[in-house]
Chain A
């Protein structure tokens, strides 16, 4: 059996010793509901109220003068990254069976989620339009 990593000594499924999967299951539902509103809102604002023809650096700079938009984007990006990577974790779990590959995939997954969260939150928190105000 290729899924040996998931089987106990007597061949039965190993009972998880943490509630991690239960928390992940709840997180997907709660973040999902929030993301439905935030992501569809984001698309409607950017593509219908505005348009990609009107969005440029100045647009983002002006928008980020208002801290509420930074909070909106920050909450959305954190929830979306965690929701997306947890979904990917489920997919990898389904298709990668050999223990060594599972370990490698998990390591890559956690490294990925860390990097993306750092880049995403850094942009939203550290972006300073004033830095270019004089040179333009």
Chain B
């Protein structure tokens, strides 16, 4: 089997596609779960275990990671689209994007998961 090796550009394309599909899946779930507010507090509050249970809280951090990557990579794509000269520097742009991702993701992940370590009420 021959494998196309497209370097960081292909990795970015693949991650953009995977995170996009993952975010769309969550969006569909989220639209349906929020729809249930129309059934009143009793039903809706029971459903919220979807957001507060431990596995889901870790999932929310992954969701944030997916949104953040898709957002930063989308900005990179738009910059290259409208400023074609940047195509030559697309690898540098990609690593800048990775840097921005790490800088933004780590503090947010700590803030999101922090309440779990101290035991929440």
Task: Provide the residues of chain A in CB contact with B48, threshold 8 Å.
Answer: 52, 55-56
**Is B71 within 8 A of A88, CB to CB?**
no
Which one of A55, A57, A84 contacts B23 once the chains associate, using CB atoms below 8 Å?
Answer: A84
Give the B interface residue count (CB, 8 A): 37
Inter-chain CA distance A53–B40, complex, in Å, is: 19
Most chain A CB atoms below 10 A, which of B32, B37, B75? B37
Q: Which B residues are in CB contact (< 8 Å) with A43?
A: 63-64, 67
B40 touches A123 (CB 8 A): no
A55-B48, A57-B41 known; A119 vs B32 contact (CB < 8 Å): yes
Question: Majority SS of interface residues in chain A?
Answer: helix
Is residue B45 contacting chain A, with contact meaning CB distance below 8 A?
yes
A88 touching B64, Cβ below 8 Å: no
| C-alpha spacing A91/B19, complex, angstroms | 12
User: Complex Cα distance A80/B32, Å?
Assistant: 14
Given contacts A43-B64, A51-B115, A56-B45, contact A80 B38 (CB under 8 A): no
- Give the residue name and chain of the B residue nearest to A47 (CB): B112
A36-B71, A36-B75, A87-B24 as given contacts; A58 in contact with B41, CB under 8 Å: yes
Apart from A32-B74, A40-B68, A116-B28, 4 more pairs, CB < 8 Å: A29-B81, A47-B108, A53-B120, A57-B37
- 19 residue pairs of the A-B complex, CB under 8 angstroms, read A33-B78, A47-B60, A47-B64, A48-B108, A52-B57, A53-B120, A56-B45, A58-B41, A60-B37, A87-B20, A91-B17, A91-B20, A91-B21, A119-B31, A123-B31, A123-B38, A127-B38, A131-B40, A132-B40
